[in-house]
Amino acid sequence: MSFRHQYVIGDLQGCYAAFQQLLKTLDFDPKQDKLWFAGDLVARGEDSLNTLRHVKVLCEQGAAATVLGNHDINLIAVWRGAAKLKEKDKTAPIFAAKDCDELLEWLRHQPILTYPNAQTVLVHAGIPPHWSIDEAAGYARELEAQLQGSKKTLDKLLPNLYSKKADVWHDDISGYTRLRAISNYFTRMRLCQQDGSLEFSFTASLGEAMPDDFMPWFEWQVPRTRKILFGHWAALKGDVDLPHARALDGGCVWGNHLLAYRLSDGKVISSSAHCPKP
């Protein structure tokens, strides 16, 4: 199917009012257009429940697609009892809703990596320099198989996805250590070394001092066959636009704006509405 317009939208984070306003700005028509979401549909905005419901409906209509972010996986983990609900995450209404199980069952079946068009690849946080895009797609499928498997498989996986220490990737990494590393690259990465070693504490903008030997993952220059579209790093405010990478988290939940990247020409359209600063 050909679409009138396709847009890739950065982290919604439950900012429902800003999302609705952005759809009006885009003159979005679900019968003619398609949206691609960079993950973190929920968490600290004012209405994660209705945001999740709306995205689910659009996806089921074929008018949208999403990848999973770290907050989405955390929501699934809370649902399955593998993590505790954080007070700063305003997601409690989801668990009180009658359609909670339906929403979360749908969410866990969404991909980690997808291809909006022939020139791009969409993930939540990024793709590390030591992986090709084809390799990354294979690793994404490994994690998706566990997230989308039986409830028993899911419940064994989720507690093993959390660690304050970053795992070191190597050729024979296996088991839950491997799956945790894959999840960390796709959903938590900001800084890394050229070999893919991760650093989790840095969340600031590019102008701030970074730990020695670490750089933003997208600054390690490696050949790419597609442009990597990503969210996650709110402090960038969507200002990174390189031949091989485009940041799309505008930091709406922190008082900034949602960003929509039009695939046909790379134009970025901002919401005029934003969440109140927490």
Chunked mean pLDDT (size 10), the chain, 278 residues: 93 95 96 97 95 98 97 97 90 96 98 97 97 96 98 96 85 93 96 91 90 93 92 94 96 92 95 72
**Separation of first and last alpha carbons in the chain:** 41
**pLDDT value of position 244:** 96
Alpha carbon distances (Å) from 259 to 10, 23, 231, 249: 6, 11, 10, 7
CA distances for 45 relative to 40, 155, 200, angstroms: 11, 27, 23
Per-residue confidence (pLDDT) for residue 277, from 0 to 100: 64
Question: Domains of the chain: which residue ranges?
Answer: 6-270
Closest to 276 measured CA to CA, from 95, 94, 90: 90
Q: Quick one: pLDDT at residue 168? A: 86
pTM for this model (two decimals): 0.96
Architecture of domain 6-270: 4-Layer Sandwich (3.60)
Q: How far apart are CA 19 and CA 41, in angstroms?
A: 10
pLDDT attached to residue 103 = 98
On whether the CB atoms of residues 84 and 198 are closer than 8 A, the answer is: no
Distances in Å between the Cα of 258 and the Cα atoms of 2, 45, 50, 210 are 25, 12, 17, 26
Handedness of CA 169, 171, 175, 178 (dihedral sign): positive
Using the 8-state DSSP alphabet, how is residue 253 labeled? Answer: G
pLDDT score recorded for residue 222: 86
| pLDDT for the residue 278 | 60
